[in-house]
């Protein structure tokens, strides 16, 4: 008879403990993997769009603290799966964990003969190291044609074309290297700005190889073999993507700075009924921002709450953000109440007179208040501004009729539409 030796109690306890640890480790790993490609909504309400940009249609909304599964990213937008199963795009700056990407925490191998590792995702950033072909790295995140990697205690950025991510499909890699023109007569410029010189125009369906990206522009190889830039709002990345056509206008390439006047301890003018200029300036700027963004343009606000911002800081916003135009929003007043009414458009630089005339024409033809035309104004926010800059006086706050008119949603919408139309006409010409 064969005698089977039973394991000791200590050995059984060890096996049991090992099993528990393995199970726990599997659970933690699964949870970590799930969380690695998810983000949490930080805005009260987050719009989900059918493409990576403000000009795409809203298909759904998510609420604060909702978790969304990230499946791709493009132009600082995440392609996500909602709890309902719908797929859409959300702005990365309105969710937590901006390092999340479809390639997050994967291994990658350098495919270029030599690749520079830079301090930031920018071709002009400091070179931290140079790696050879077949170097293995850990991929942390990716954005705008760059991949963040870590290896040998170094963390930096390599152009995505120089790395093959483990498990990434060939089709996905190809899609990140090309773009397709979506709109007629799209401009290819010699620098990443609307003020850049025109190199060529492209028609819908034309494809370009993506070399790099800068701000809201793609660097591409032109048909002549030179380097040029095209705005990301008027193209589709990836030859095989079926993208929706957004509302695209002459304004879609631009970045506009809106400057709600006054703020904080600087109330500005005060109306007959106690209305603060700083309050309605902010409300009006917010309405203008919402309307301008429907064109696909980017809008920067010098303030978004009741805070004091210095005049020099306001004027410098165009430099800081590489903006194409600056509009300061104000409401006028007189020493004696009820002695003046209407709107005016101020400029400082002679070169801005055409801009002032074009925009003021819209205020003159579509607003309920009398229009006093364009005027020269020696204001610091205009005088020290490097971009085309205007200051709009949109009514007299200490006139009884103007005060009750200007502090209404209807008036703000009329102003927003007039300003947007004026900008579109200005950039079209």
pLDDT in tens, the chain (429 residues): 444 455 555 555 555 555 555 445 444 333 333 344 677 777 666 778 888 766 577 788 777 778 787 777 776 678 887 766 677 888 776 777 644 444 445 678 888 777 788 877 777 777 788 788 888 887 766 667 778 777 876 777 888 888 887 654 333 333 335 778 877 678 898 988 777 888 988 887 788 887 776 766 778 888 888 889 887 767 776 433 343 344 445 676 688 999 999 999 999 999 999 999 999 999 999 999 988 887 778 889 999 999 999 999 999 999 888 888 999 999 999 999 999 999 999 999 999 999 999 999 999 988 999 999 999 999 999 999 999 999 999 999 999 999 999 999 889 999 999 999 999 889 877
Domain 106-168 belongs in CATH node 2.30.30.40: yes
Q: H-helix or E-strand containing 259? A: strand 255-260
pLDDT of residue 33: 34
* CA distance linking residue 257 with residue 249, whole number of Å: 18
Quick one: DSSP state of residue 276?
A: B
pLDDT of residue 10: 55
pLDDT of residue 54: 62
Would you say the CATH fold of 175-237 matches that of 38-94? Answer: yes
> In three state form, how does the secondary structure of 300-328 look?
EECCCCCCCCCHHHHHHHHHHHCCCEEEE
Which CATH number among 3.40.50.620, 3.40.47.10, 2.40.40.20, 2.30.30.40 corresponds to the domain 175-237?
2.30.30.40
Provide the terminal-to-terminal Cα distance of the chain, rounded to the nearest Å.
102
Domain locations along the chain: 38-94, 106-168, 175-237, 255-428
Q: What angle do CA 36, 41, 46 make, to 5 degrees?
A: 135
Cβ burial of 16 (10 Å; 0-12, 13-18, 19+) is exposed
In this structure, CATH architecture of domain 38-94:
Roll (2.30)
* CA distance linking residue 162 with residue 41, whole number of Å: 32
- Give the pTM: 0.48
Closest to 176 (Cα-Cα) out of 148, 150, 142, 138:
142
CA distances from 424 to 100, 229, 291, 301, 403 (A): 36, 21, 12, 19, 29
CA distances from 281 to 200, 262, 303, 410 (A): 40, 8, 11, 15
CATH hierarchy code of domain 255-428:
3.40.630.40
pLDDT of residue 246: 40
* CA distance linking residue 247 with residue 264, whole number of Å: 36
CA distances from 241 to 166, 203, 406 (A): 23, 17, 45
């Amino acid at each position: 008879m064969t005698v089977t030796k039973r394991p000791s109690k200590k050995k059984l306890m060890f096996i049991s403990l090992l099993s528990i640890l393995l199970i726990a480790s599997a659970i933690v790993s699964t949870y970590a993997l799930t969380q690695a490609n998810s983000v949490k909504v930080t805005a009260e309400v987050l719009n989900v769009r059918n493409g990576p940009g403000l000009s795409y249609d809203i298909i759904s909304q998510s609420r604060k603290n909702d978790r969304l599964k990230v499946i791709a990213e493009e132009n600082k937008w995440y392609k996500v799966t909602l709890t309902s199963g719908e797929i859409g795009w959300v702005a990365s700056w309105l969710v937590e964990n901006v390092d999340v990407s479809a390639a997050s925490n994967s291994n990658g191998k350098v495919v270029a003969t030599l690749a520079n590792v830079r301090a930031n995702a920018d071709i002009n950033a400091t070179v931290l190291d140079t790696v050879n072909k077949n170097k293995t790295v850990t991929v942390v995140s990716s954005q705008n044609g760059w991949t963040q990697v870590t290896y040998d205690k170094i963390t930096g950025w390599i152009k995505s074309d120089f790395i093959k991510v483990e498990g990434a499909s060939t089709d996905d890699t190809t899609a990140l290297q090309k773009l397709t023109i979506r709109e007629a007569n799209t401009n290819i410029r010699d620098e990443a700005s609307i003020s850049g010189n025109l190199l060529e125009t492209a028609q819908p369906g034309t494809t370009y190889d993506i070399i790099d990206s800068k701000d809201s522009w793609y660097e591409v190889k032109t048909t002549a073999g030179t380097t040029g830039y095209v705005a990301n709002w008027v193209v589709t990345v990836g030859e095989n993507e079926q993208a929706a056509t957004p509302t695209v206008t002459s304004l879609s390439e631009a970045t506009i700075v809106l400057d709600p006047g006054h703020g904080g301890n600087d109330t500005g003018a005060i109306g007959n009924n106690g209305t603060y200029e700083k309050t309605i300036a902010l409300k009006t700027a917010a309405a203008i921002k919402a309307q301008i963004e429907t064109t696909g343009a980017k809008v920067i606000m010098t303030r978004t709450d009741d805070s004091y911002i210095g005049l020099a800081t306001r004027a410098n916003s165009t430099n800081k953000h590489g903006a194409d135009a600056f509009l300061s929003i104000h409401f006028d007043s007189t020493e004696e109440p009820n002695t003046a009414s209407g709107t005016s458009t101020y400029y400082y630089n002679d070169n801005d007179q055409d801009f002032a005339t074009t925009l003021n024409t819209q205020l003159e033809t579509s607003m309920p208040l009398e229009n006093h035309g364009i005027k020269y104004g020696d204001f610091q926010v205009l005088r020290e501004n490097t971009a085309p800059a205007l200051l709009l006086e949109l009514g007299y706050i200490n006139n009884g009729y103007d005060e009750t008119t200007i502090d209404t949603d209807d008036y703000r919408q009329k102003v927003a539409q007039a300003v947007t139309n004026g900008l579109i006409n200005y950039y079209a010409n």
